[in-house]
Amino acid sequence: MTRGIRARPATVPCLDHVVIGTRDLPRGKQTLVKAGFTPATGGEHEGRGTANELVRLQEGYLELLTVVDRDQAMAAGGSRRQVVDFLDAQPIGLLGYALEVHDLDHWLESLKQDDVSVTGPHLMSRTQPDGRRLSWRTGLIHDRQWLTPYPFLIEWAEPSEDRWAGAPADHANCSVAISRVEVSSRDIREDVRVYQALGAYVDSHDRQSTMLTLGPLSVELTATEASCGHLSHAVCSSFPGTRNSAHAKALHEGELGLWLSLDASRKMRG
């Protein structure tokens, strides 16, 4: 299944963040608090009509994304219009996820050589409540950031500690990282090819599903008859803790339970 994949950059991308779209940002934040997460600050995306709240993990983070200016988001088009359409159809749900790279231009060229359609780099920025301006560049596979079976690539201009400015990474539910994502796939063979171009390798596969490893992240592709594949679930691994089961139950029974879960039984990969 690796035929045709050329040499790629030496460093495999790592999961940067998982994005949850929500119509009601304060309510979504409260749902995460009840599940034992400690949200950090977020901010508005300049000229894009969207804003976020973030949850820093020891590895990567969770993002709650909402629309604050519908007209501006629609005018921005592309991924911002996708967020508007998504939240018009449902109040909350998974939009997608990002992999961090340190040489975006190199990765985009590598993917093109592997016959993977990409666009970018796209320049983005956000102003924090304390006035700090953060900036980054993204690359999109098949020109889609959301509601796609593939992650998008992100390259940050600022180092991690500068971006987080001391925000907590420890949580009452003991979560440390996103360890697994589940993705519905219209074409598993093609999706495996794209993930291999990103540096993933196949752990196991059959006609209905394929398990991939991408650095410390597990990716499960499951066949679907839906019109398009997309990210369908994400799992936060956590260290065993006496309060973890209560928080896992709170998350499961809340409005995010369909898309996000806690698992203290899975061993984190190094």
In this prediction, residue 115 carries a pLDDT of 97
In this prediction, residue 141 carries a pLDDT of 98
In this prediction, residue 228 carries a pLDDT of 76
Superfamily grouping for domain 175-263: 2,3-Dihydroxybiphenyl 1,2-Dioxygenase, domain 1 (3.10.180.10)
In this prediction, residue 238 carries a pLDDT of 73
Torsion on CA atoms 226, 88, 49, 76, rounded to nearest 10: 50
Strand order in the sheet with 260-263: 201-205, 209-214, 217-223, 175-185, 230-238, 260-263
The pLDDT averaged over each successive group of 10 residues in the chain (270 residues) is 50 92 93 92 86 94 96 92 94 95 96 97 86 92 94 96 89 91 95 97 92 95 85 82 70 88 62
Closest CA to 19 of 58, 59, 66: 66
Q: Where are the beta strands (DSSP E) in 23-102?
A: 40-45, 50-56, 61-67, 92-100
In this prediction, residue 143 carries a pLDDT of 93
Q: Which amino acid is at 71?
A: D
Residue ranges matching CATH 3.10.180.10 in the chain:
14-164, 175-263
Topology adopted by domain 14-164: 2,3-Dihydroxybiphenyl 1,2-Dioxygenase; domain 1 (3.10.180)
Tell me the pTM: 0.91
In this prediction, residue 151 carries a pLDDT of 97
A 10 A CB-CB count for 232 gives 19
What gap in Å lies between CA 146 and CA 65, rounded to an integer? 12
Coil/strand/helix, residue 137: strand
